[in-house]
Structure 1
Amino acid sequence: MGNAPSKADCGDEPPKTTLFEKEPDGITYRIPALIYLVHSSTFLAFAEKRSSSRDSDAKLIVMRRGVQNADGSVQWLSSEELSTACLPLHRTMNPCPVFEKNTSTLFLFFVCILGHTTEHRQIITGKNKTRLCYVSSGDDGRTWSEAKDLTESVIGQDIGKWATFAVGPGHGVQLENGRLIIPAYAYYIPYRCFSFPVPHTVCPRALTIYSADFGKTWHIGKMLRKKSCECEMAEIIDHEGRSHLYCNARNFGGHRREALSENSGVCFDKPRTARELVEQPRGCQGSVVGFPAPEFIPCEDAENKACDTLSPDTQTWLLFMHPTSKRTRRDMGVYLNRSPLHSRGWDRPRILHCGPSGYSDLAYDPDKDQFSCLMECGKISELEQIAFVSFTLKDVMQTNRKNNNKMC
């Protein structure tokens, strides 16, 4: 099962702008994160700079600033290294930005891992070498604070039960009630034997890191009760004005993992398998963003009953981005969900890149009612570049009308 695209879907790809590209000496840019600052019409694009493609060779976070012009074009400035987003003797990974509107503060969360310690080694030894950190900016990312290590104050003694952990990667979200949400996951150790984890029992679980006081203090939520790894989250507002926090997580076994929280991310109820969202055998990170459901959608065929299905049952729709192939990381697509509180609401994907594709991150511009994304992509390998693409809801819906005959 799964809404995998047909070969015919790989046709009209939107134009791409390369922001980060693999260098001849092997320096590779991976793990994109994107945020759009509405008040200044500015994009901030983040990525890891690595000496090679290996996770253990990550070095630091780089950023590019893009200023959006009135005609929708984006003028990108040159890349800059975030020199304060680091800890001594550690490598910096998994950028995860979120903007706090009340204080106009931009937070950039990340994790710092000691030396070249791999995720696998932490999992088999049960010795966590990862730190939870952030830097903040009060001027839209022009300058940044020194790194703040939250590991003890936020995770505390639970760190002994986590083989390793990470945030995102990708963007966080601020809920309508003001709560800041940083998506995260941890490799939970249920059993130990002579201080080592019992083999094959350690597995990842998604959770939130959240703040209810505009970023002054942070807390961790409860883990999902099923296996779930790298994740992103979005707020869904129903017709009664109630908030639901949606989680979409990397999974294994062919399909994504979904869950909903009714208490702003403290815990998630009844995680479910997203049968319409394919996942590669080893999984891949994906991105999700919520946006206001359109009030009116024109219908070209008044006699087509499919138009009746366009009436939204929530005030929020979702867009999800992920490689669409069932077998390997390729053919990056975006899926639309017009009934996000239901488990079977996803339409067929609109393909943005035919070929090798990897991690991605979505952003929404409410002023222009437009979506933008960063994605790892290339012709031979998804590690060749990180590209920026913009598109509209109409682009996605036209694709579904053409391929699935669901829309008119």
Structure 2
Amino acid sequence: MTQSARGVEPFIGKQNLFEVGDNPDFDLYHIPGIVVTAKGTVLAWCEARHGGGDWSDIRVLLRRSEDDGKSWSPPESIVEVADPKPKNPFALRLKNVNTSHVTYNNPVLIADRDGTVHMVFCLEYMRAFYQKSEDDGRSWSEPVEITEAFNQFKKDYPWKVLATGPNHSIQLQNGRLLIPVWLSTGEGGNAHRPSVTSTIYSDDGGKTWQAGEIAVPNTEEWINPNETVAVELSDGRVMLNVRNESKKHRRLVTISEDGISGWSTPTFDESLLEPICMGGLVRYDHGDENLLLFSNPHNLDGARKGKAEPGKSRQRKNLSVKISSDEGNSWATSKVLEPGPSMYSDIAVTHDGTILCFYGTGKKPGFAGDALTLARFNLEWLQSPDKAASSSEDESSGSLNP
């Protein structure tokens, strides 16, 4: 058994939290998200889809854990808008879109330091809503529409399709709630392209929301920036890490002093491959370590040899977690978490320093997979050589009274 310099044994354990076949109402689970609340409760959520597409009949399911992700409450549907729910007109241009389906999409949760859990989600990629929980995700307030915040973007970008995040998002040290968003005119593939990236924010605890400046425009170099994650740097600046469909096949990075304006010129991070897939980003601040962790499928297939086509997704596999000790300037450590088919991911850290990566897995290549898997591991496992990766916890989906 290999130990770290501090005498801590590396460990890793995995369990499926959502699996195709566990509920006859849903054909697919996608868009995993995870966050740890101020009280230490772990919340894991996803889109549960009846039909596999982005415009399918979709609900948002949540599970809770009060023991750092070892056991879990049963899944619960946590969003419901009472108003009439017309489909986005740009969805109706697509083939095989069922007008009776209700598409809740792109849920984002933020754990406030005061114990509140803030949530923003979208409806039909056309409207956005805010709700909150004051009891660690057991119950939620009535959704309040905040689409007006997105309408503020229209002076700069005439969007017809909107989306938040997805994944968890952040509260800044000054209390600001910040959520990355992407916007599309809906004219391209799946009505999701072309697209640009920005942020929305609240400075009053979620009561009102405003639009930031466009952070990454759509250009010949930065093609269709979309699903984005954010982290506050040690000096208070905000860094966005952006999925895109550029020829470079690398993640895009841009930095702002306040998370809403004055974004730096986007740059490609040469260390972070971009197979065109969502990634996860979180700060690890525990003990004497203050690091950034990033997760995504580290794979390009033929792209390394110049065979990648712009806008063409590479196979989603080889999910890896990387460590940066210099605020994202470099990523010196990379560890494979799932060598086979592996898709969207989000990443969180519990109060005792356990790392949680929640991600899609499958028996064969695909965009979403057969299950959403939670990996629990410590920093010692992440920093250990592959051959020295040690004990594996025996975990099941568990049960926790909700």
Q: Name the TM-score class by shorter chain.
A: 0.7 to 0.9
Deviation at 1:87, TM superposition (A): 5.2
Deviation at 1:38, TM superposition (A): 3.6
- TM-score (ref. length: structure 1): 0.76
Which of 157, 164, 167 in structure 1 is aligned with 2:164? 167
- TM-score (ref. length: structure 2): 0.77
Q: How many residues align?
A: 336
Deviation at 1:58, TM superposition (A): 3.7
Which of 335, 338, 356 in structure 2 is aligned with 1:372? 356
**Using the alignment, how far apart are the partners of 1:173 and 1:291 within structure 2?**
14
Which of 392, 397, 401 in structure 1 is aligned with 2:378? 392
* 1:99 maps to 2:111: yes
Structure 2, unmatched stretches of 5+, are 1-9, 86-101, 302-314, 390-402
The residue aligned with 1:126 is none
Which of 119, 124, 127 in structure 2 is aligned with 1:108? 119
Structure 2: which amino acid aligns with 1:54?
Answer: G
The residue aligned with 2:240 is 247
Deviation at 1:51, TM superposition (A): 0.9
The residue aligned with 1:124 is none
Whether the 8 Å contact between 1:285 and 1:359 is mirrored in structure 2 is: yes
Deviation at 1:400, TM superposition (A): 8.2
**Using the alignment, how far apart are the partners of 2:239 and 2:231 within structure 1?**
5
**Using the alignment, how far apart are the partners of 1:151 and 1:16 within structure 2?**
38
Structure 1: which amino acid aligns with 2:228?
Answer: C
Sequence identity, in percent?
27
Give per-residue Cα distances to partners, 1:335-362, cap 9 Å, x unaligned. 11111252xx012421111211111111
Whether the 8 Å contact between 1:232 and 1:287 is mirrored in structure 2 is: yes
Give per-residue Cα distances to partners, 1:93-118, cap 9 Å, x unaligned. 1110012223x3211111100xxxxx
Whether the 8 Å contact between 2:250 and 2:274 is mirrored in structure 1 is: yes
Which of 261, 269, 274 in structure 1 is aligned with 2:269? 274
**Using the alignment, how far apart are the partners of 2:153 and 2:18 within structure 1?**
38
The residue aligned with 2:134 is 138
Q: Which segment drifts farther, 267-276 or 392-401?
A: 392-401
Deviation at 1:274, TM superposition (A): 0.9
Secondary structure of 1:361's match?
strand
Deviation at 1:332, TM superposition (A): 0.7
**Using the alignment, how far apart are the partners of 1:397 and 1:351 within structure 2?**
11
Structure 1: which amino acid aligns with 2:210?
Answer: H
Deviation at 1:295, TM superposition (A): 3.2
Give per-residue Cα distances to partners, 1:63-106, cap 9 Å, x unaligned. 111111xxx5622111111243675334101110012223x321
Secondary structure of 2:151's match?
helix
Structure 1: which amino acid aligns with 2:323?
Answer: L
Structure 2: which amino acid aligns with 1:213?
Answer: D
Higher strand share: 1
Structure 2: which amino acid aligns with 1:110?
Answer: F
The alpha-carbon distance between structure 1 residues 220 and 178, as it changes in their structure 2 partners (threshold 3 A), is same
Structure with the bigger RCO (C-alpha within 8 Å, sep 6+) is 2
Give per-residue Cα distances to partners, 1:243-275, cap 9 Å, x unaligned. 111111101231111111112333421111011
Deviation at 1:49, TM superposition (A): 1.1
The residue aligned with 1:21 is 19
Note the aligned Cα RMSD (angstroms). Answer: 2.8
Whether the 8 Å contact between 1:85 and 1:92 is mirrored in structure 2 is: no
Q: Which segment drifts farther, 323-332 or 16-25?
A: 16-25
Give 1:172-191 correspondences, 5 Å limit.
172-187=169-184
Whether the 8 Å contact between 1:179 and 1:212 is mirrored in structure 2 is: yes
